[in-house]
């Protein structure tokens, strides 16, 4: 059937967004409404005539609502093939009327298990049985039935029904979305209970089920010839999320109308993850092309930004800024006063006066994207890191490894001072977020030099030293992995570095230790590596 006209609709939704308006529009077109439980009540409260499901089936809803739509009068009306006379004769013989439209979305299982105090009983009671059955039945019989699981599809459904009828093209689209809806739902349930009972101690699941909901289409990917979109993960399917402060949970605070791009989102994630390393002091991080070009702490968030920018004022222009405290007027005045063009900013909150200042202060401010992510605390550890390769997926846990002073091993003759030790730990948290081979030089809790993404470590040291310039003397240096030779530390020593932190573990560690002793450098081993590819 190319087109179908809706004469009877079954409405039963957990997400009631727009359901009353849809029902009103259907009723105005002469459509008979059948509904269940809370949906029926909402429609009746709106003054609509609704046929209750128990009237349709001849049986009351029973077992605390577990059984209400599992009945031939429901599924016969949905599944009867309109092109087969014998099907139509059978349902007519049993007094079953056809159902032309099914509008169903499912119990909020994801929201239920996201609650910190969720019980097993709560989780089980929020497993929908009748809903998926109706969705799958209607999707299977999409030749004669329209199935809608997403409120954003209501408008197109009504528009088509006003014309020739709901087209086969739209019904096929809705059918595909319906199966995706139930697949994601079942996958979430399976993953949750596998974690509870089958593999409670497993860090990585035996079967990796991925379910990501598209948040938006992006203008393009890394390059204009690549198609891209932004998808948000459920907390149990990998990638973090849930209630964690992350880009997937961000909201917009600007009115620019300019979309956040693929590269913006990737850099926003990197910037936010870096400032989450420092929950106890005002911290600002500036990211350019997936690498920090500046990160610093200050007495105020405005001071932190100014100090972060000083590391590389050229790269900071057109960068991404993340801060871990409220975006205030003082910070906005610094950004505008320095004319530091930024693509995007992410912060836990915004002062309205600060928004007006930064948006209206310069011509580029009109296109500035402002994202708000509440609850920025320490780094997160839940979820997986996913990297696709041709023919497969590489999966790991997130790089979550807090390091305390007690775990450090001093290898040099000279012990680091208390200030050096604190600075080394600051540098160590920063270097974790720089592409390997990664070197970072810091001074006064601010990045001064960065060497990123090089194929050998000594070249990364040279780049960091060159950037640090006059700030090299008295700085400390962090390396994300061990120095295979003492040449890197020697370059750092000649630049005036006074302390170095690195994992250790090279066969030439003794040579590096001797070099540090020669230059009176405090050398600290972590025993932990932080490669970032």
Buried b (16+ CB within 10 A) or exposed e, 439-459: bbbbbebbbbbbbbbbeebbe
| Residue carrying structure tokens 């070009």 | 293
Asked if residue 437 has a cis previous peptide bond (ω within 30° of 0), the answer is yes
Sheet holding 342-347, edge to edge: 251-252, 369-372, 342-347, 319-323, 283-288, 291-297
List for the chain the helix, strand, coil content (%; round to 5): 40, 20, 40
Q: What's residue 195's pLDDT?
A: 80
Q: What's residue 242's pLDDT?
A: 60
Q: Is the pLDDT of residue 1 over 80?
A: no
Q: What's residue 3's pLDDT?
A: 84
More confident residue, 414 or 96: 414
What is the CB neighbour count within 10 angstroms for residue 218?
18
**Could you state, in order of their start, the residue ranges of all structural domains in the chain?**
3-194, 213-372, 405-525
* Cα Rg, the chain, nearest whole Å: 30
Q: How does residue 488 score in pLDDT terms, banded at 50, 70 and 90?
A: very high
What is the CB neighbour count within 10 angstroms for residue 279?
12
What is the CB neighbour count within 10 angstroms for residue 413?
14
Q: How does residue 241 score in pLDDT terms, banded at 50, 70 and 90?
A: low
What average pLDDT does the chain have? 90
Q: How does residue 444 score in pLDDT terms, banded at 50, 70 and 90?
A: very high
Lowest model confidence (mean pLDDT) among 260-274, 322-336, 394-408, 439-453: 394-408
- Give CA angle at 68 (66, 71), nearest 5°: 120
Q: How does residue 257 score in pLDDT terms, banded at 50, 70 and 90?
A: confident
H helices, E strands: number in the chain: 19, 23
CATH class entry, domain 3-194: alpha beta
User: For 9-22, what is the mean pLDDT?
Assistant: 91
Q: Is the pLDDT of residue 400 over 80?
A: yes
Question: What percent of the chain is modeled with pLDDT above 70?
Answer: 98
More confident residue, 249 or 473: 473
pTM comes to 0.80
Q: Is the pLDDT of residue 344 over 60?
A: yes
What is the CB neighbour count within 10 angstroms for residue 273?
22
Q: How does residue 473 score in pLDDT terms, banded at 50, 70 and 90?
A: very high
- Give CA angle at 113 (107, 114), nearest 5°: 115
More confident residue, 91 or 33: 33
**Which one of 289, 326, 362, 508 is the catalytic residue?**
289
Q: How does residue 115 score in pLDDT terms, banded at 50, 70 and 90?
A: confident
3-194 and 213-372, same CATH topology: no
Does the annotation mark 433 as catalytic?
Answer: no
CATH class entry, domain 213-372: alpha beta
Q: How does residue 215 score in pLDDT terms, banded at 50, 70 and 90?
A: confident
Does the annotation mark 41 as catalytic?
Answer: no
CATH number of the domain located at residue range(s) 405-525 in this protein: 3.40.140.20
Q: How does residue 449 score in pLDDT terms, banded at 50, 70 and 90?
A: very high
User: For 324-351, what is the mean pLDDT?
Assistant: 95
Q: What's residue 73's pLDDT?
A: 82
User: For 507-512, what is the mean pLDDT?
Assistant: 96
Q: What's residue 197's pLDDT?
A: 84
Question: DSSP assignment, residue 373?
Answer: -
What would the pLDDT profile of 130-142 be if each residue is shown by its tens digit? 889 989 999 999 9
Q: How far apart are the first and last CA of the chain?
A: 53
List all residues 6 or more positions away from 68 whose beta carbon is below 8 Å from its beta carbon.
36, 37, 53, 54, 57, 61, 62, 130
**Which one of 7, 16, 44, 140 is the catalytic residue?**
140
Question: What percent of the chain is modeled with pLDDT above 90?
Answer: 58
More confident residue, 239 or 92: 92
What would the pLDDT profile of 37-83 be if each residue is shown by its tens digit? 888 889 999 999 888 888 777 777 778 777 777 788 888 889 988 88
Q: What's residue 297's pLDDT?
A: 97
């Amino acid at each position: 059937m190319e087109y179908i006209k809706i004469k009877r609709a079954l409405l039963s939704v957990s997400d009631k967004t727009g359901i009353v308006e849809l029902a009103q529009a259907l009723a105005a077109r002469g459509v008979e409404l059948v509904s269940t439980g809370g949906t029926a009540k909402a429609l009746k409260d709106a003054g609509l005539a609704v046929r209750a499901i128990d009237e349709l089936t001849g049986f009351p809803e029973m077992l605390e609502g577990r059984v209400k739509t599992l009945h031939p009068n429901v599924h016969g009306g949905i599944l009867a093939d309109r092109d087969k006379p014998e099907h139509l004769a059978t349902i007519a013989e049993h007094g079953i009327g056809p159902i032309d439209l099914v509008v169903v979305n499912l119990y909020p299982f994801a929201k239920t298990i996201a609650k910190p105090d969720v019980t097993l009983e709560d989780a089980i009671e929020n497993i929908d049985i009748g809903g998926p059955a109706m969705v799958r039945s209607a999707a299977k019989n999409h030749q004669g039935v329209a199935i809608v699981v997403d409120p954003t599809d209501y408008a197109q459904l009504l528009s088509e029904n006003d014309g020739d009828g709901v087209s086969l093209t739209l019904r096929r689209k809705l059918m595909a979305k319906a199966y995706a809806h139930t697949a994601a739902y079942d996958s979430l349930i399976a993953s949750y209970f596998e974690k509870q009972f089958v593999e409670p101690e497993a860090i990585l699941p035996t079967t990796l089920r991925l379910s990501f909901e598209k948040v938006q289409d992006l203008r393009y990917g890394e390059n204009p010839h690549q198609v891209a979109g932004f998808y948000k993960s459920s907390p149990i399917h990998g990638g973090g999320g849930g209630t964690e402060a992350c880009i997937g949970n961000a909201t917009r605070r600007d009115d620019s109308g300019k979309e956040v791009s693929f590269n913006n989102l990737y850099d926003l994630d990197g910037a936010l993850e870096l400032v989450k390393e420092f929950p106890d002091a005002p911290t600002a991080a500036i990211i350019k092309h997936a690498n920090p070009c500046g990160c610093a702490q200050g007495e105020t968030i405005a001071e932190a930004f100014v100090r972060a920018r000083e590391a590389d004022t050229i790269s900071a222009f057109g960068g991404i800024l993340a801060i871990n405290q409220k975006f205030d007027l003082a910070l906005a005045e610094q950004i505008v006063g320095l004319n530091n063009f930024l693509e995007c900013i992410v912060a836990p909150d915004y002062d309205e006066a600060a928004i007006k200042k930064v948006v209206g202060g310069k011509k580029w401010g009109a296109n500035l994207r402002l994202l708000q992510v509440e609850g920025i605390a320490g780094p997160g550890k839940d979820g997986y890191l996913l990297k696709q390769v041709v023919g497969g997926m590489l999966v790991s846990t997130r790089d979550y490894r807090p390091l305390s002073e007690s775990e450090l091993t001093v290898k040099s003759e000279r012990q680091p001072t208390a200030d050096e030790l604190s600075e080394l730990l600051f540098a160590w948290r920063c270097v974790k977020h720089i592409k390997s081979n990664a070197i970072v030089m810091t001074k006064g809790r601010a990045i001064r030099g960065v060497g990123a993404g090089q194929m050998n470590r000594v070249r990364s040291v040279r780049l960091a030293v060159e950037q640090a310039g006059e700030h090299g003397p008295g700085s400390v240096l962090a390396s994300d992995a061990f120095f295979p030779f003492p040449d890197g530390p020697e370059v750092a020593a000649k630049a005036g570095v006074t302390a170095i932190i690195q994992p250790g573990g090279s066969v030439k560690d003794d040579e590096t230790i001797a070099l540090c002793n020669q230059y009176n450098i405090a050398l600290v081993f972590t025993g932990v590596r932080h490669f970032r590819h």
